[in-house]
């Protein structure tokens, strides 16, 4: 097609997907071969028609008609067999190739580090896994063979035309470059217009997303009219884009048809005079007209197929990129050898974890050349110790916790678990020993029981209920219609944030971790419940190393060690009493606010 398209179409990303496609080599071969053979059969039918006219009707006899019928029927049977083979193989290629691409994406998504997730929205990744792969598989199975079909059929038609009568074929040879020219001209514009249509459609989708998900907020702000008005502007633009696309298409498609019908008209005139001069049979003339009426449509179809493949480029790049993206946190080969990866762990080689955690001169920045989030942090937490991290938002508390979980690697320095570099053992080993509770709890669809059990699948019902009792979830479960077997609803929509936090707390407890990470774990739980939880989990947490981030100082006061973090550095460390005595940042934070409180009360 056009030069420009060739330039933008690169095979490099397609090649990256080839190993997956290669698994379906044979069905693909069947698709291609049967399709090309079908092109041949399609070519033969008009010829048979012309034979019916010339050999029987014009001669006025039905002698030999039996043989003709036999040929015709034979061709039909071959066509049916080919069609079945073609259809089933296409389906197989589409579905299996799509399935394998989806799985390859999903597998790599399980390995990619959190830096990927921090900058990529879930919706974006989801559409790569679901829709990009489906489009690629569909085009590979159906569009690509159709291009080959058209590539075989168009020259085929010309060969037949030239063979039948070179003089008559001339019209269609002369018109071909014209039709090709129209196609290139219009296709380019249609693609651009279509891009605009799709862009407007995605704006409509996000308009609905916002209008529906933000409906509660827009009600409280009485923004309904304003938002509706803005949405109407978007739909107007979308309608205009659709109409513009329709208009352009309304010239192009009839133009191609016009070329075909004009060619047929010319054939009728030219061929007619040849017939009258006895230099052409009527059968051949009718075959010519049949070919003329359909030929140029093929140009259009081929252009459609090719632009379909070209527009797939972006999807292919996105999927190839996702499948081959390297995680930033990787286990070394010798570690994988001994401990296994996250899908096939070698648990027999796993050591128990005591839970001693040490930061050895650790510095960290999220992006290269970016701001240092942690600088030269050194601290040792003995097994079973409780560490509270205090500091402003953005001081580096969550980063420290992320490094303990090895969601990121330190830019400098080492994190040691039980005295060994965290990189010396596998990520799964580490994660299997961590209990993690997030401020924004994520629950999976299923029952409360299933969600708690997510922490340790082999836990018994009694253990699940014990964990639930520890966080006072039993009171809440008792109020629910099905108790622990109540469905939490998709993403836990049916429960309050506080209740979700309790479930995710129970999930962490049941995992029997060596290290607890509580990142604002109970921020949405009322004080009374929180205190009850603290008492209940005290014994549980005694033998567990705990990292606690909390705004409430109640939790913090009881910690074995408090780390005050400012601008990525530990500025003070010690127990509550020690830090108060020290008279530094922590003391200031504590006393100034305490005095304010007293003043208020008095």
User: Per the structure block, which two tokens stand in for 396?
Assistant: 């580096």
Residues within window 224-243 making contact with another protein, judged by CB under 8 A: 224-228, 231-232, 235-236, 238-240, 242-243
Q: Which two tokens stand for residue 108?
A: 């790599």
Window 191-210: contact mask with another protein (x via CB under 8 A): -------------xxxxxxx
Shortest separation between residue 10's beta carbon and another protein, angstroms: 28
Q: Which of 396, 410, 455, 568 binds another protein (CB under 8 A)?
A: 455
Q: Which of residues 239-278 bind another protein (CB under 8 A)?
A: 239-240, 242-243, 245-247, 249-251, 253-255, 257-258, 261-262, 264-266, 268-269, 272-273, 275-276
Q: Residue 287 in contact with residue 121, Cβ under 8 Å?
A: no
Q: Does 95 bind another protein (CB under 8 A)?
A: yes
- Please enumerate, as own/partner, the contacts of 190-195 that have beta carbons within 8 Å and a separation of 24 or more: 190/245, 190/248, 190/249, 190/252, 190/307, 191/307, 191/311, 193/241, 193/244, 193/245, 193/248, 194/245
Q: Which is nearer to another protein, 310 or 529 (CB)?
A: 529
If one counts every other C-beta atom within 10 angstroms of the C-beta of residue 437, the result is 23
Of residues 440 and 542, the one with the C-beta less far from another protein? 440
Residue 415: strand, helix, or coil:
strand
- Quote the CA–CA distance of 422 and 430 in Å, as a whole number: 8
Smallest distance, Å, CB 487 to another protein? 13
Shortest distance in whole angstroms from residue 126 CB to another protein: 5
For 566, the token pair is 């400012």
| Interface with another protein in residues 545-584 (CB under 8 A) | 551-554, 556-557
Residues in region 139-198 near another protein by CB under 8 A: none
Q: Helix, strand, coil: what percent of the chain each, to 5? A: 70, 10, 20
Question: 585 and 571 in contact (C-beta within 8 Å)?
Answer: yes
> CB of residue 570 vs another protein: minimum separation in angstroms?
17
**Structure tokens belonging to residue 535:** 């008492």
Site string for another protein, 393-422 (x = CB under 8 A): x-----------x-x---------------
User: Please, are residues 522 and 553 in contact by the beta-carbon 8 Å criterion?
Assistant: no
- Residue 566's beta-bridge partner residues? 569
Min separation Cβ 284 and another protein, Å: 12
Under 8 Å between Cβ of 517 and 381: no
Considering beta carbons, is residue 378 or 554 the nearer one to another protein?
554
Give the torsion sign (CA, 58, 64, 65, 71): negative
Cβ-based nearer residue to another protein, 412 or 585: 585
Residues 6+ positions from 275 with CB-CB distance below 8 Å: 281, 282, 285
Closest of 97, 110, 95 to residue 17, by C-alpha: 97
Q: Is 122 in the site for another protein (CB under 8 A)?
A: yes
Rounded to whole angstroms, what are the CA distances from 17 to 129, 137, 388, 398?
14, 11, 48, 38
- Please state, in angstroms and as integers, the Cα–Cα distance from residue 207 to each residue in 122, 197, 203, 213, following that order: 18, 15, 6, 10
Q: How far is the CB of 209 from another protein (least distance, A)?
A: 6
Residues in 316-345 at the binding interface with another protein, rule: CB under 8 A:
342-345
| Interface residue with another protein, options 192, 199, 215, 482 (CB under 8 A) | 215
Taking residues 24 to 63 in sequence order and writing x for each that binds another protein by CB under 8 A, - otherwise, the string is -------------------------x--xx--xxx-xxx-
- Cα–Cα dist 35/39, whole Å: 6
Applying CB under 8 A, among 34, 35, 125, 423 the residue interacting with another protein is 125
Alpha-helix residue ranges (DSSP H) falling in 112-121: 114-119
Minimum CB–partner distance for residue 12 and another protein (Å): 27
Q: Select 120 or 313, whichever has its Cβ closest to another protein.
A: 120
Report in angstroms how near the CB of residue 7 gets to another protein at its nearest: 30
Site string for another protein, 282-311 (x = CB under 8 A): x--xx--x----------------------
Closest to another protein by CB, 65 vs 314, is 65
Site string for another protein, 343-382 (x = CB under 8 A): xxx-------------------------------------
Long-range residue pairs from 177-186, CB within 8 A, at least 24 positions apart, any chain: 178/259, 179/256, 179/259, 179/296, 179/299, 180/299, 182/252, 182/255, 182/256, 182/259, 183/252, 183/256, 183/299, 183/300, 183/303, 184/1, 184/2, 184/303, 186/248, 186/251, 186/252, 186/255
Among 69, 159, 166, 199, binds another protein (CB under 8 A): 69
Q: Which two tokens stand for residue 195?
A: 């891009």
Task: Report the residue number, 268 or 424, with the smaller CB distance to another protein.
Answer: 268
> Applying CB under 8 A, does 98 fall inside the site for another protein?
yes
With CB under 8 A as the rule, give the number of residues binding another protein: 157
440 binds another protein (CB under 8 A): yes
**Which range, of 156-164, 177-185, 523-531, 536-544, touches another protein by CB under 8 A?**
523-531
Pick the closer one to another protein by CB: 179 or 443: 443
Residue 345 DSSP class: B
Q: Residue 597 contacts by C-beta under 8 Å, 6 or more apart in sequence?
A: none
Provide the β-strand partners of residue 534: none
User: Is residue 189 within 8 Å of residue 250, measured between CB atoms?
Assistant: no
Binding span for another protein by CB under 8 A among 15-23, 99-107, 177-185, 186-194: 99-107
Distance separating alpha carbons of residues 432 and 355, to the nearest angstrom: 12
Binding of residue 102 to another protein (CB under 8 A):
yes
176 vs 223, beta carbon nearer another protein? 223
Q: How far is the CB of 149 from another protein (least distance, A)?
A: 16
Report the residue number, 53 or 162, with the smaller CB distance to another protein: 53
């Amino acid at each position: 097609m056009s030069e420009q398209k060739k330039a933008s179409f690169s095979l490099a990303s397609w090649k990256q997907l080839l190993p997956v496609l290669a698994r379906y080599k044979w069905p693909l071969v069947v698709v291609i071969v049967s399709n090309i053979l079908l092109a041949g059969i399609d070519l033969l039918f008009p010829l048979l028609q012309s034979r019916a006219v010339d050999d029987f009707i014009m001669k006025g006899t039905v002698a030999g008609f039996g043989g003709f019928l036999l040929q015709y029927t034979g061709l039909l049977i071959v066509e049916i067999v080919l069609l079945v083979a073609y259809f089933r193989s296409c389906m197989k290629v589409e579905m299996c190739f799509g399935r394998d691409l989806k799985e390859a994406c999903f597998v790599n998504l399980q390995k990619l580090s959190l830096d990927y997730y921090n900058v990529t929205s879930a919706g974006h990744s989801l559409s790569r896994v679901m829709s990009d792969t489906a489009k690629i598989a569909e085009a590979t199975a159906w569009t690509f063979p159709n291009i080959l079909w058209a590539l075989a059929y168009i020259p085929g038609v010309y060969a037949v035309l030239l063979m039948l009568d070179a003089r008559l074929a001339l019209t269609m040879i002369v018109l071909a470059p014209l039709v090709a020219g129209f196609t290139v001209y219009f296709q380019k514009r249609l693609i651009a217009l279509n891009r605009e249509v799709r862009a407007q459609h995605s704006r409509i989708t996000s308009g609905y997303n916002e209008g529906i998900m933000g409906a509660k907020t827009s009600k409280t702000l009485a923004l309904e009219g304003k938002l509706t008005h803005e949405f109407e502007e978007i739909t107007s633009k979308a309608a205009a884009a659709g109409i513009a696309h329709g208009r352009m298409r309304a010239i192009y498609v009839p133009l191609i048809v016009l070329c075909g019908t004009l060619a047929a008209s010319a054939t009728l005139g030219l061929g007619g005079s040849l017939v009258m001069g006895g230099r052409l049979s009527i059968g051949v003339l009718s075959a010519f007209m049949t070919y003329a009426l359909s030929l140029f449509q093929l140009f259009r179809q081929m252009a459609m197929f090719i632009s379909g493949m070209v527009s797939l480029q972006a999807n292919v790049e996105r999927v190839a990129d996702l499948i081959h993206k390297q995680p930033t946190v990787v286990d070394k080969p010798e570690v994988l050898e001994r401990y296994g990866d996250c899908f096939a762990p070698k648990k027999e080689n796993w050591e128990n974890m005591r839970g001693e955690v040490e930061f050895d001169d650790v510095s960290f920045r999220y992006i290269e050349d970016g701001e240092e989030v942690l600088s030269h942090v050194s601290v040792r937490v003995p097994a079973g110790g409780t560490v509270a991290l205090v500091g402003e938002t953005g001081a580096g508390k969550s980063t420290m916790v992320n490094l303990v979980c090895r969601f990121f690697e330190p830019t400098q320095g080492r994190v040691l678990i039980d005295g060994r570099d965290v990189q010396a053992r596998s990520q799964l080993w580490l994660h299997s020993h961590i209990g993690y509770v997030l401020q924004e709890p994520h629950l999976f669809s299923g029952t409360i029981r299933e969600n708690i059990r997510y922490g340790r699948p082999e836990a018994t019902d009694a253990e699940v209920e014990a964990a639930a009792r520890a966080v006072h979830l039993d009171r809440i479960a008792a109020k629910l219609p099905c108790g622990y077997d109540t469905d939490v609803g998709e993403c836990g929509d049916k429960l309050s944030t506080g209740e979700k936090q309790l479930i995710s707390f129970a999930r962490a407890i049941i995992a029997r971790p060596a290290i607890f990470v509580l990142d604002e774990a109970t921020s949405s739980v009322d004080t009374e419940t929180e205190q009850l939880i603290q008492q209940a989990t005290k014994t549980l947490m005694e033998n567990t190393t705990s990292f606690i981030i909390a705004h409430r100082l109640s939790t913090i006061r009881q910690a074995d060690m408090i780390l005050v973090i400012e601008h990525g550095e530990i500025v003070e460390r010690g127990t509550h009493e020690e830090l108060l005595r020290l008279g530094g940042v922590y003391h200031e934070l504590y006393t100034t606010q305490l005095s304010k409180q007293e003043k208020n009360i008095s």
